[in-house]
A and B are shown apart, each in its own frame.
Chain A
């Protein structure tokens, strides 16, 4: 297994210059304005960098994808004061020395050095060292973990050798103290020849001192470079660099003290251990899965009831009052917009809960351990261990699972994982499986449903292997090298902040796509394709929706379910699997099955349709239908999440991949099944 020797290059230049001027009482926006200084926040992963960013910018955070990459750079306004942090506006009567200074703070992806190993690290390097020099940040705040100073100082050494203005923010002093040693910030500053400020961003201690130091440093001329040997090869330069780091650590803390064993090590002996470690991991995942589905489900039902009941009723009353009741306008607003947006909002509790749990796992330090435990399994399909987490989440709901791929540091691995997530069988599909099982398999319904989950896992492995053997063939898989951070108790503030940012990002993107799609489906169902009916009055079979379904149906004839009724359900399922059963009921004009899953008249009608379309082989046709339903595009919400995370090109590729896999498997299942059953 090899890592490419070539440093990563970004496809287009990236710039830090802010483009929007923040007003007096506004913390948000893209930055503090074109005249404001730009300060980059950099450092090794898990050194408290993002926590510091949130603490300094508050709610003023924007996320954005830079051209040519899918990695994210957070940007916000840091309203710094030299002393007290009391000033809230620019027109007050504060002492001039205390006057707030708005700084554009840019949080860059974590990196251990200026020699990038991933697109994220390449982005950081290019932003710090890119041309022209005027586009570079005015100063960099480098977070350094006091408990593992050696691994943090390599980046500092490289920055000092290039003469870049930096301030070192020393974090995790409490962790170092628990391990029996202290870092002398004054001695460290003297040895590094740059300002050092001890801070605790989790508890917001030392932030004013950091502000004062940064403001002072911004006013200073460019610092001198740390001298490096001349006329020698890179190896000799590295030797000197490491000797310098060892000297600095020795003077500032005493190197030997850092190797004491901690309770964190004792926990790791179990959490990452062979046999026990994977069992603990499965237990954690089970808890995540259970909490997400069981806690969120009642809230989803509640929201669904609110939109289907009082909200829709109020809209109907209002429209009737203004004379638009029972018109196409009512159909569009109530059956289209309210139903569509309502469906999106029912996802919010589930999404929020999933994001909370992900944030807790991230903040606690457990995710790094989970990556270690699952690394070997995931490596077989070309992914690192931590990719297992979003795949597990996908069995609850694909939408947060797609967003969950952000925990992966490598962009290509994020894309591969996001392409595999739709093959995880979400709970929305489960409702259809249960109904199909009851209709076609009687006492063996449970086995049929379980088989779908087994097939789902096999598809993920198969598609993963296929992609690794083709499009991901030359993709390097790095050997496992993971820096294990100390365990920490997750903070409420950080968890809430991260959850809200992710939730907001999802809603902003998904809402537009869902509204457009729902309106499109409603329009198709309203447009008459047979004579004698008006707009929004035509039966489904005679609508454009029915006619289109009938025209697509022959595609599924080799799979045994080539009827317009089954096809229309799959078209609705493209929007959301939650709507499959109700749309079937609408198509057959009977009541949807009750909560027990008993099929009733709907079951008889569906059975008759499958019996006819399969030429007398309804069981294999039903199995093929279930396989197709499991493997093809989950819903538009998942597409929206994919579009946001991996872009339009890969989202379209994923749709094609899902359809090809689903159709091929469905045809295979039916053709083989009809020979046996």
Chain B
């Protein structure tokens, strides 16, 4: 369900549908505002294959390995 964030389009409205299998990482993301059901967008690519996510005013740099685990759907 959904696409992993490495394949998600830039600057498109997204909703997180899977926060990955690592509970600690999921909690960390949730504390930053990125949790299942959160609306966000990926605003830029970073060196090393990561992305910067914009969620509720917070800019979060996400590493490449994490992008593969997180899944989102594009909001119509």
When chains A and B are docked, how far (Å) is the Cα of A155 from the Cα of B45? 29
Contact of A375 among B33, B50, B58 (CB under 8 A): B50
> Which of A58-66, A267-275, A652-660 forms contacts with chain B?
A267-275
Known: A150-B58, A482-B60. A272 touches B46 (CB 8 A): yes
The answer to the question of B12 belonging to the interface, with a C-beta cut-off of 8 Å to chain A, is no
Q: Is the CB of B66 within 8 A of A268?
A: no
Known: A148-B57, A150-B57, A272-B61. A113 touches B47 (CB 8 A): no
Interface membership of chain B positions 56-67, coded 1 if the CB is closer than 8 angstroms to chain A and 0 otherwise? 111111111110
For window 10-49 of B, CB contacts with A under 8 Å fall at 22-25, 27-33, 35, 41, 43-49
User: Please, which residues of chain A bring their CB within 8 A of the CB of B24?
Assistant: 2-5, 117
Central interface residue in B27, B41, B48, B69, by most chain A CB within 10 Å = B48
Interface membership of chain A positions 6-24, coded 1 if the CB is closer than 8 angstroms to chain B and 0 otherwise? 0000000000000000000
The residue in chain B whose Cβ has the minimal distance to the Cβ of A238 is: B30
The answer to the question of B54 belonging to the interface, with a C-beta cut-off of 8 Å to chain A, is yes
The answer to the question of A265 belonging to the interface, with a C-beta cut-off of 8 Å to chain B, is yes
The residue in chain A whose Cβ has the minimal distance to the Cβ of B68 is: A479
Q: Is the CB of A480 within 8 A of B27?
A: no
When chains A and B are docked, how far (Å) is the Cα of A104 from the Cα of B43? 43
Known: A3-B22, A277-B47. A115 touches B56 (CB 8 A): no
Min CB distance, B4 to chain A, in Å? 13
Q: Is the CB of A376 within 8 A of B64?
A: yes
The answer to the question of A353 belonging to the interface, with a C-beta cut-off of 8 Å to chain B, is no
Contact of B46 among A149, A277, A377, A479 (CB under 8 A): A277
**Number of cross-chain contacts by CB at 8 Å:** 140
Q: Is the CB of A481 within 8 A of B61?
A: yes
User: Please, which residues of chain B bring their CB within 8 A of the CB of A154?
Assistant: 30-31
When chains A and B are docked, how far (Å) is the Cα of A5 from the Cα of B54? 26
Q: Is the CB of A242 within 8 A of B47?
A: no
User: Please, which residues of chain A bring their CB within 8 A of the CB of B74?
Assistant: none
Min CB distance, B43 to chain A, in Å? 6
The residue in chain A whose Cβ has the minimal distance to the Cβ of B67 is: A479
The answer to the question of B3 belonging to the interface, with a C-beta cut-off of 8 Å to chain A, is no
Contact of B57 among A115, A117, A179 (CB under 8 A): A179
For window 96-132 of A, CB contacts with B under 8 Å fall at 112-113, 115, 117
The answer to the question of A495 belonging to the interface, with a C-beta cut-off of 8 Å to chain B, is no
Q: Is the CB of B59 within 8 A of A484?
A: yes
The residue in chain B whose Cβ has the minimal distance to the Cβ of A261 is: B43
Min CB distance, B37 to chain A, in Å? 8
Q: Is the CB of B28 within 8 A of A480?
A: no
User: Please, which residues of chain A bring their CB within 8 A of the CB of B49?
Assistant: 274, 376
User: Please, which residues of chain B bring their CB within 8 A of the CB of A261?
Assistant: 43, 54
Interface residues of B (CB under 8 A from A): 22-25, 27-33, 35, 41, 43-50, 52, 54-66, 69
The 6 listed contacts between A and B (C-beta, < 8 Å) are A151-B32, A259-B41, A269-B43, A278-B47, A375-B50, A480-B64
4 closest A-B pairs by CB: A480-B63, A258-B57, A376-B48, A150-B56
